[in-house]
């Protein structure tokens, strides 16, 4: 689907954003007939309320949208309005603060999203003309990247395995002139990706490392995304209730590809690298086992105390590869731990960073673009929890406490040497419908990262 603004020359119905405080004064600006109609509708300008006022022949002349004078709880309220309006083209006729206008415009575009691969459902059909004062190409690039992320997560594992995830990366690379290399199956071993191979070798769908590059000048940014296309838990088999959403365990890969799409569409002046270890964590006679001790690309050995903690293993090899080029900024994204969901719920993307400039940039960026993130600590006293007796590292410390932090500390061991490393422990799923966000796959943290990059990389 194409989430774009209407053509600038298209005739449009005016849409007024009206708060309860401003309702009386707005009503008085209307002619008598539409004013009478408004009164018969009992329009009170409560949040999300819509009033359609006809002209003489019966077409829509004016639309009013109830909105609070102050920022309301939640975000993307304009997406709700887009879903209520009849098909047609609209333009916002009320002056709004710059950030609210940009959020409203993006919310409208996102209201047009629907996962329609297997059904005929569609998103909102009302079109919006790009409001004056926004960066329309930026918002369209964000909407397209978000749609890519959602589609990749929403596709079930029978149609989204390592092969299909690789093809999605290839499609993105081809569209923007990026280079791509893929190391697949047993070739991972001589290429020194032993953890990726170990996690994925039990599946008939071969594991692989996807490596995409774009750009010749500027600072270097490397994105690493967990691409576990389905996670049974391995020999530590998940119960059925926990396995139900495991098609989304490649949400980290989907998010970095969505972010890469935004960066490529905007042609940001940087050198981009995207690394995705793509595997299925399956069960067979050659599955890796609890208490196996596995080598890694970094040279660190890992004791396996739970085969269901596989995401950090495949990321470890990819992070080790990433640090060999010492990028200016290294970011990993993964649907990694249930502990993160317990800590902050499904709507907030917790992140870890040792770099104060990144932390300082992300907070304000998240607020500007309505993409909530929350900083978590690399709490060094917990390092001993990931150090077993028989290997350098433990992939699943006992006790269950601080699970998101210990996972982040595990990953940081493989990113040692990176000047600017940040990790996002995302959920990647919208469990209940909200404005602009239907139930299903969702981007988390990527709009905040995009907004922060110019400051972090001095673009």
Interatomic CA distance for residues 269 and 454, integer angstroms: 10
What is the structure's pLDDT at 48?
Answer: 84
The DSSP call for residue 437 is: B
Share of the chain above pLDDT 70, in %: 98
Q: Give the closest residue to 106 by CA, choosing from 393, 436, 441, 457.
A: 436
Interatomic CA distance for residues 212 and 324, integer angstroms: 16
Q: Is 56 or 21 the better-scoring residue by pLDDT?
A: 21
Give the SS3 label for residue 49: coil
What is the average per-residue pLDDT within 248-269? 98
Contacts of 39 (CB under 8 A, 6+ apart): 27
Beta partners for residue 214, in sequence order: 272
255 class by beta-carbon count within 10 Å (0-12 exposed, 13-18 middle, 19+ buried) = buried
Beta partners for residue 147, in sequence order: none
Judge whether residue 21 has pLDDT over 90: no
Share of the chain above pLDDT 90, in %: 81
pLDDT band of residue 96 (cuts 50, 70, 90) is: confident
Q: Give the closest residue to 149 by CA, choosing from 253, 258, 250, 249.
A: 258
Quick one: tokens of 308? 């269901």
List domains and CATH numbers for the chain. 13-129 (3.40.220.10), 141-456 (3.40.630.10)
What is the average per-residue pLDDT within 267-277? 98
pTM confidence score: 0.96
Interatomic CA distance for residues 305 and 308, integer angstroms: 9
pLDDT band of residue 231 (cuts 50, 70, 90) is: very high
The DSSP call for residue 136 is: H
Catalytic residues: 238, 312
What is the average per-residue pLDDT within 363-372? 96
Place of tokens 């980290």: 252
Judge whether residue 315 has pLDDT over 70: yes
What is the average per-residue pLDDT within 315-325? 98
Average pLDDT, the chain: 94
What is the structure's pLDDT at 35?
Answer: 86
Judge whether residue 386 has pLDDT over 80: yes
């Amino acid at each position: 689907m194409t989430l774009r603004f209407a053509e600038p020359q298209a005739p449009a119905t005016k849409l007024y954003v009206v708060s309860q405080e401003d309702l009386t004064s707005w009503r008085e600006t209307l002619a008598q007939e539409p004013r009478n109609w408004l009164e018969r509708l009992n329009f009170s300008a409560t949040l999300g309320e819509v009033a359609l006022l006809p002209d003489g022949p019966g077409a829509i002349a004016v639309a009013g949208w109830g909105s609070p004078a102050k920022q309301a709880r939640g975000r993307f309220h304009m997406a709700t309005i887009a879903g209520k309006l009849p098909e047609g083209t609209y333009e916002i006729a009320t002056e709004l603060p710059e950030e609210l206008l940009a959020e409203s415009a993006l919310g409208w575009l996102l209201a047009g999203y629907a996962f329609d691969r297997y059904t005929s459902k569609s998103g909102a059909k009302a079109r919006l003309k790009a409001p004056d004062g926004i960066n329309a190409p930026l918002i369209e690039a964000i909407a397209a990247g978000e749609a890519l992320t959602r589609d990749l997560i929403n596709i079930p594992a029978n149609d989204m395995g390592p092969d299909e995830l690789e093809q999605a990366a290839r499609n993105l690379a081809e569209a923007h002139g990026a280079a791509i290399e893929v190391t697949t199956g047993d070739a991972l071993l001589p290429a020194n990706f032993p953890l990726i191979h170990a996690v994925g070798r039990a599946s008939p769908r071969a594991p692989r490392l996807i490596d995409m590059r774009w750009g010749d000048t500027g600072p270097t940014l490397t994105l690493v995304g967990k691409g576990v296309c389905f996670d049974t838990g391995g020999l530590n088999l998940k119960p059925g209730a926990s396995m139900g959403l495991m098609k989304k365990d490649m949400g980290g890969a989907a998010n970095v590809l969505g972010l890469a799409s935004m960066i490529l569409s905007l042609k940001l002046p940087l050198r981009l690298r995207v690394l995705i270890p793509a595997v299925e964590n399956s069960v067979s006679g050659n599955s890796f086992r609890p208490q196996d001790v596995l080598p890694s690309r970094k040279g660190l050995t890992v004791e396996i105390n739970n085969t269901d903690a596989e995401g950090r293993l495949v990321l470890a090899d990819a992070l080790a590869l990433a640090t060999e080029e010492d990028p200016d900024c290294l970011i990993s994204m993964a649907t990694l731990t249930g502990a993160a969901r317990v800590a902050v719920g499904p709507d907030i993307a917790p992140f870890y960073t040792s770099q104060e400039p990144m932390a300082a940039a992300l907070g304000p960026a998240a607020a500007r673009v309505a993409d909530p993130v929350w900083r978590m600590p690399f709490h060094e006293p917990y390092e001993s929890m990931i150090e077993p007796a028989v290997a350098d590292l433990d992939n699943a410390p006992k006790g269950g406490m601080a699970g998101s932090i210990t996972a982040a500390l595990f990953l940081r061991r493989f990113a040692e040497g990176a000047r600017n490393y940040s990790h996002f422990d995302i959920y990647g799923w919208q469990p209940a419908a909200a404005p602009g966000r239907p139930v299903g796959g969702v981007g988390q943290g990527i709009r905040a990262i995009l907004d922060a990059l110019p400051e972090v990389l001095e673009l």
